[in-house]
Amino acid sequence: MTRNAFRSAVYLPPFGPFGDPAVLVDLAVRAEAAGWDGVFLWDHVVAGGLPVVDTWTTLGAMAQATSRVLLGPMVTPLARRRPWVVARQASTVSRLSGGRLVLGVGLGSDESGDFSRFGEPVAPAVRASMLDEGLDVLRAVWSGEAWRHDGPHHRVDLPASAPEPHPIPLWAASSTGGPAVLRRAGTCDGVFPNPEDRTMSPADVAALAAAVRPTGRPFDIAVTGNASHAWEEPKHVDLTGLADAGMTWWMESLIHFDPLALSLEVVDAGPPR
């Protein structure tokens, strides 16, 4: 990737006006036609009474309907999923898409009750421990090697099998930038910083790259925000500065409280430049 080069994706929730799998599949097809490089979905179970679709099932349909764009959950909270099931879901979507899956993982949020409404652990420290252990399980399943594990949250006994045919990049979410989060991200293939109160600045990205980016192998830094000229009130985002600082992906954020027609206009307008 050359200086100032970055890829662009659409990043959106699977609920509200997007809470229809047919709408999301159509959106992925339109995004590919408009020149976007990826389509990434939030992963939630409930959304305050709004219609919600399953992210993994929808990604499988998107994989069959597209041929070029990268796809993935951004992010799947491993603490409320059995990691061996996620490993098989990811493998399936990866094979359906010909190796176009990127798996974003994180602690997840309980803002809408995705954990507490179902008796799942809510404490961040517990979810972080489950996430770290879950990452080990994912990698073991994909490796095809025999593996036994007896950890604080999971017991696994895997026989040897065929390894995953396509590499599945892992991106770790980071909303706080704490030391443990940065260490986890450094073991993955990319980081998805997602602060709640702002879009990352070039200085933020440069600091993150210095703290996390490993040497000697590719590593992605994905930044989310709004830069499309199709928005009713376009915002100025220094995409060149972000790319110079280390951003490799721009994630154009579509939100469920915007009209669907406006979101589709943003998709059809193509990536910001």
pLDDT digits (tens, 9 = 90+) for 79-100: 999 999 999 999 999 999 999 9
Q: pLDDT tens digits for 30-63?
A: 999 999 999 999 999 999 889 999 999 999 999 9
pLDDT at 198: 82
The partner residues of 223 in beta bridges, in order of sequence, read: 250
CB 235 within 8 A of CB 1: no
CA neighbor of 93 nearest in space, from 44, 40, 137: 40
Output the six-digit token pair for 210: 């210095």
- Decide: helix, strand or coil at residue 45: coil
Q: Give residue 176's pLDDT band: very low, low, confident or very high (50, 70, 90).
A: confident
With a cut of 50, say whether residue 245 has pLDDT above it.
Answer: yes
DSSP H or E run through 182:
helix 179-186
With a cut of 50, say whether residue 2 has pLDDT above it.
Answer: no
Query: What percent of the chain has pLDDT above 90?
Result: 88
CB 263 within 8 A of CB 254: yes
The DSSP secondary-structure symbol of 15 reads B
CB 33 within 8 A of CB 66: no
Model confidence, pTM:
0.95
Measure the CA–CA gap between 107 and 125, rounded to whole angstroms. Answer: 9
Output the six-digit token pair for 125: 């420290």
Question: What domains can you pick out in the chain, each with its CATH number?
Answer: 7-269 (3.20.20.30)
DSSP H or E run through 28:
helix 21-34
How many Cβ atoms from other residues are within 10 Å of residue 212's Cβ? 24
CB 172 within 8 A of CB 105: yes
Helical pair 179-186 and 124-143, crossing angle rounded to 10 deg: 10
pLDDT at 33: 98
Per-residue pLDDT, averaged over 203-213, amounts to: 94
Per-residue pLDDT, averaged over 161-174, amounts to: 96
- 124-131, Cβ contacts within 8 angstroms, sequence gap of 24 or more: 126/79, 127/77, 127/79, 128/180, 129/153, 130/78, 130/79, 131/77, 131/78, 131/79, 131/105, 131/106, 131/107, 131/184
Measure the CA–CA gap between 27 and 254, rounded to whole angstroms. Answer: 11
Measure the CA–CA gap between 260 and 255, rounded to whole angstroms. Answer: 9
With a cut of 60, say whether residue 3 has pLDDT above it.
Answer: no
